Amino acid sequence: MANRVTVASVIAAVGIVAVIGTMATVTSADDNDGNMLSSVKVSTVCAFTRYPEKCEQSLKHVVSDTSSPEDVFRDALNVALDEVSTAFQRSAHIGKDDATEDLRALARVKPADVVRHVKDLRVWVSGIMTYVYTCADGFEKPELKEAMDKVLQNSTELSSNALAILTRLGDLMPGKAKDLQATLAGAVGHDRRLLGWQIGDAEEVTSGGRGLLDEIVGVANANRKLLSDTLDEITGMSHGANGRRLLSSLGSRISSAQGDDVLARHQLLGVSPDDETDNAARRNLLSTELESIASTSAEANRQLLAAEELPDELAGKRELLSRTLMGIDEAATEAKRQLDEATTENTMSGDHRVLTTGLIGTFDEIQDGRSGVPPSDFPKWLPATQRRLLQQTQKPNTVVAQDGSGDFKTITEAITAVPNTFEGRFVIYVKAGTYKEYVTVPKNMANIFMYGDGPTQTVVTGDKSNAGGFATFASATFSAEGNGFICKSMGFVNTAGPEGHQAVAMHVQGDKSVFYNCRFEGYQDTLYVHANRQFFRDCEVLGTVDFIFGNSAALFQNCLMTVRKPGDSQSNMVTAQGRTDPNMPTGIVLQGCRIVPEQALFPDRLQIATYLGRPWKEYARTVVMESTIGDLIRPEGWAEWMGDLGLKTLYYAEYANTGPGAGTSKRVNWPGYHVIGQADATPFTAGAFIDGASWLQSTGTPNVMGFTKG
C-alpha cells in the first residue's frame, strides 16, 4: 500500500513539473527575463490549483531560478525516476502497480508533447486519484478509513494539483493559448509553420491566412498524384483490410448538404458568393467540411501506419504519404479552429473563404483523381455504418470451449496463454456455455478482443459478494484491467442476489475499452466502471442499487437499463458516480438508452422508489440525454447519498429525454442539477467526452460521435 502511495505522489509531481517545463519551453523565446522565468511560472501555475501551498512546496527543491527550461524538465524527471527506482527495489510487486506504466509513458513524453497528450494525461492522473481512494475505501471500519485518508492526503493533493494544471494549461501560456488550443483539438506535427497565426488585426490575419493557404497548395501540388496513385495500391493489397479501411476513410467523407455537388458546396462556402447566401449556413457547412477532412485524414494516416505489410510500390512511400495526410489533418484542424474562434463579422472574410474552400477543393481533387475512379463508383459496402470490426467474423487466435472442441476449456487458461511478445490485437473466441470462473484480464495485457455466441449464450458467472466476505472490488466475476479491451456478445453475471449486497458482475478499468452487445446481470453494484475511458453500445445492464457505479469516463449508447426488484426496504438507483475532484474528466453518460423495469418489478414499480442516480462522491457527474425514461423513475429523479453530500458540487444534467418518467418540472432543486440545451450537452457526446474520434472509430464499433437524434 505504501508503494502505491509513493508512485501516485511521484506521478503527480512529474505531471506538474512536466507541464511547467512545457510552458517554460514554449514561452521562453518571448521572455527576456531569463533567470526568473521558472520561479515566476511556478507561482503562476500553483495559483490555479486547489492546494497552492503544497504545489509550490513540492516544486521548490526541483526548480531553481537559474535553471533553463530544458534543465527543469530533465532534472524533474530524473528526480522522479530515482524515487520510483527506490520503490521498485522495496517491492517486486510494484512493477504491476496500476500507475507505473503511466509513469513510464510520461517519462518518455517530450516537453513539447505534453500538450498533445493533455487529454490522456488528465485521464491517467484521474485514474491514479481513483486508485488511491479505492484503497482507502477498502477499510470498512471508520477509524481505519480515517487513518488511511490521512496517509493518502499528500498523494491526493499532489495529484489534484497536477490535474488542475493540466486542465488550465491554456490559460497558463500567454501569447500561445490559441496555438495550444489547436494542439489540444488534435493537431499534430513538430515542425508546423502554422504556429503563431492568431486571429488579431487584419494585417496579421491576411499574412497568416496567405501563409497557411500557401502551405495547403504546396501539399496539394507536391503530393496530390502520390495520394491518388497509392490509394489504389493500398486497396489492392492482398490482405486488404487496412487498405479498405483507408479507402473508406477517405471515400466516405460526409457532406452537410447531401446531394450537392462540389461546385454548389464551394458556392455556398463563398468562392462565388451572392448577397442572399446565408452566412450561418455557410459557416456551419464550412466547419463540418473541415472537421470531416481532419478526422478522415487522421484516420487514413493511422490505418496506413498500422498496416504490418505494404506492397513494394507503396512501402517506400509510406513516410511521405503519412506526412501528406498529417499535413492535411493539421491544416484542416487549424482552419476550423480559427473559423470557430473568429467573430461573426469576420467568419466569411476573404481569407477564410479562400483558405477553407482551397483546402476543401484540394481534398475533392485528390478524391476525383483516384486513377480515374470517380467517387460515385466507390464500393457500396464501404459506408461507415457497415465498416465495423465488431460486425465482421474474426478469425480467433484462441478458442475456448467447455466441451473440449477448442484450445482451452476455461477463459482463464486462454488469457494465461497469450504470448507476452504478441503484437497487435489478440482474438479469443468463447463458445456458448456457462463458465463458472473468476476471470481477470491483467493490466499488462492490452488489446484483447474477446467475443462469444451471444449475451445469453456465452455467460461468465460467479457469486462473490460483500455479504460473503469479499470487498466490493474483489467480488467481480470478470475484471478487465488491460487497456484496449474489446468484448462482443457475451454475458457476465453475479448470482449473489439482493442479500449479497455489493456484488460486482463486471469490473473494468482498462483505458479505451469497448463492450458491444453484452449483458451485465446482478443486483447491487452490477457494473463497476472503475477508472479511465469506456464505451458501451447495444448492451443491457440489470440491477437494483447503484448498479452502474465508479469513476471512469463511461458512455452508454443505445443501451437497455433494466431495473430489478430490490431487497426489502431498498430503493433502486441506476447510477452512483464517484468523481472526487472538479477537474476530473470523468462521469457517467447515458445517451439514447432506455430505462425500464424487469417483469418482476413491473407490478410494484410505482411503489418501490427508483431514481436515475445518487452522488457517491462529492463531485459526482452524470448526464442522461436523448433517452427514454420509464414511469418507474420518481418525479424528483435523483436521490441523496448521505444528507447534503455533494448536492452543491455534483453535476447532474438531463437533455432531450422522452417517456413518462422524463418530465423535469418536479425534479430536485439542488444547485448541481441542470436541465440543459444542446450546446451544454455537446461536451458529453462520444467525440468529446471520451475523445472517441481519436480511438473509438478505429475499433469498428457502431457508434455516434455526436447526437443520436436530429
Residues with catalytic function: 525, 546
Using CA atoms, how far apart are residues 514 and 219, in angstroms rounded to an integer? 36
Residue 436's φ and ψ, nearest 5 degrees, are -90, 85
Using CA atoms, how far apart are residues 8 and 152, in angstroms rounded to an integer? 10
Q: Cβ(31)–Cβ(62) under 8 Å?
A: no
| Strands 478-480, 506-508: pairing kind | parallel
Using CA atoms, how far apart are residues 187 and 329, in angstroms rounded to an integer? 7
Whole-angstrom CA distances from 292 to 214, 265, 461, 574, 702 are: 21, 14, 43, 36, 18
Alpha-carbon torsion, ordered 411, 413, 417, 422, to 10 deg:
10
Give the max Cα distance, the chain: 75
Neighbouring CB atoms inside 10 A of 651's CB total: 19
**Residue that is written with C-alpha cell 498523494 in the block:** 155
Q: Cβ(643)–Cβ(585) under 8 Å?
A: no
Neighbouring CB atoms inside 10 A of 254's CB total: 12
At 277, list the grid cell.
447566401
Residue 533's φ and ψ, nearest 5 degrees, are -125, 135
Phi-psi region of 454 (alpha: psi -120 to 50; beta: other; left: phi over 0): left
Using CA atoms, how far apart are residues 191 and 188, in angstroms rounded to an integer? 9
State the angle between helix axes of 52-59 and 37-46 in degrees (0 to 180), rounded to the nearest 10.
Answer: 150
Using CA atoms, how far apart are residues 620 and 43, in angstroms rounded to an integer? 30
| Strands 513-516, 486-488: pairing kind | parallel
Q: What are the residues facing 329 on neighbouring strands? A: none
- CA–chain centroid gap for 102, Å, is 16
Residue 550's φ and ψ, nearest 5 degrees, are 130, -170
334 class by beta-carbon count within 10 Å (0-12 exposed, 13-18 middle, 19+ buried): buried
Residue 200's φ and ψ, nearest 5 degrees, are -140, -130
For residue 49, the surrounding DSSP H or E stretch is none
HEC profile for 77-111?
HHHHHHHHHHHHHHCHHHHHCCCHHHHHHHHHCCH
Neighbouring CB atoms inside 10 A of 648's CB total: 10
